[in-house]
A = this chain, B = another copy of it.
């Protein structure tokens, strides 16, 4: 009933390592950059057994972590956005340059911690309509990919599932790749706004702040789906459960839950008081990462 939710594969991995579970079918690589300030962890979930253990679909999950991720210094921002561009190009092969990309900024523009996706979309370099009308020569470069973007809104605003909207647009516009940007729920407060997760698995039910109910994946949409997410909230039920289980280590969880946790909690999230400044900075960094990866106009 009150599930402890995390959208982060690294958190799942930590949980499983703690349980001393078998790690077959899961490979983990770790790289460090900038004097260890940036840590890139690549988790690959390769077998059905690993899928079951992790509760996440087969695929590659890359996390970029940095304690200063949301710092507002120009140099830091540039460093992260360049690394992000490089990681995106790992997931979307460079050699297929002519391939077009649709970016979907998921989430609710009017709820600050859920506005990451819409605000990334606002700052993208959009090229599809220009390439279609004039060709790539207007940019003086063959290196510009066709990029389009959509902000579908959330179900309370649209009455439609995000998957329905994206599915319709993908069938009509026929991009080669879909990148979905979304604010995520983490389990731990200390990861909030400190981690960017990229994966080639798309989005599964229940993930994201807004709790998508249907998969947005290659299987449901027919094209590869790259998910880019940043944890911006912790579910209120999760934070309480974590504190209590820390305290009540030896007691079976089932015992206290029914008595204490009210159903209202499911509609609640926890976030930080300066979430506005963090969303502003992070949405700029992610949009610049995408811009650098796919439509960087050459500087003369």
The CB with the most chain B CB atoms within 10 A, among A108, A158, A239, is that of A158
Report how far A121 CA is from B273 CA in the complex, Å: 19
A72 nearest in chain B by CB position: B125
CA distance A129 to B211 in the complex (A): 14
| Option from B111, B123, B125 in Cβ contact (under 8 Å) with A275 | B111
Q: Mark A205-243, 1 if CB is under 8 A from B, else 0.
A: 000011000000000000000000000000010011001
- Which of A11-19, A24-32, A91-99, A164-172 has 4 or more CB atoms under 8 Å from chain B? A164-172
Selected from B160, B262, B270, B288, the residue in CB contact (under 8 A) with A150 is B160
- A269 B267 Cβ-Cβ under 8 A: no
Interfacial chain B residues near A288, Cβ < 8 Å: 74
List A165-208 residues whose CB lies under 8 Å from chain B: 165, 167-173, 189-190
**Interface flag for A88 (CB, 8 Å):** no
Q: How many copies does the complex hold?
A: 4
Contact between B150 and A108 (Cβ–Cβ < 8 Å)?
Answer: no
Mask, A148-162, CB within 8 Å of B = 1, is 111111011111110
Q: Which residues in B have their C-beta under 8 angstroms from that of A108?
A: 276
Decide if the interface of chain A is mainly helix, strand, loop or mixed.
helix
Partner of A265 from B150, B189, B267, B280 at Cβ < 8 Å: B189
CA distance A51 to B56 in the complex (A): 55
Name the CB-closest residue of B to A149. Answer: B158
Given A240-B240, A260-B243, A260-B247: A159 in contact with B148 (beta carbons within 8 A): yes
Docked-complex contact A128 and B160, CB < 8 angstroms: yes
What residues on B are CB-neighbors of A20 within 8 Å? none
Contacts of A147 in B (CB 8 A): 159
**From residue A195, how far is it (CB to closest CB) to chain B in Å?**
15
Q: Is A256 an interface residue (CB 8 A)?
A: yes
A274: CB under 8 A from chain B?
yes
Closest Cβ neighbor of A165 among chain B residues: B169
Nearest first, the 7 A-B pairs at minimum CB distance are: A168-B172, A128-B159, A148-B159, A168-B168, A110-B276, A168-B169, A126-B159
12 contacts between A and B (CB under 8 A): A74-B288, A74-B299, A75-B299, A111-B275, A126-B156, A128-B159, A150-B153, A165-B173, A236-B239, A236-B270, A244-B247, A268-B272
Q: Which residues of A contact B (CB under 8 A)?
A: 72-75, 108, 110-112, 121-123, 125-130, 146-153, 155-161, 164-165, 167-173, 189-190, 209-210, 236, 239-240, 243-244, 246-247, 256, 259-262, 264-265, 267-277, 280, 288, 297, 299
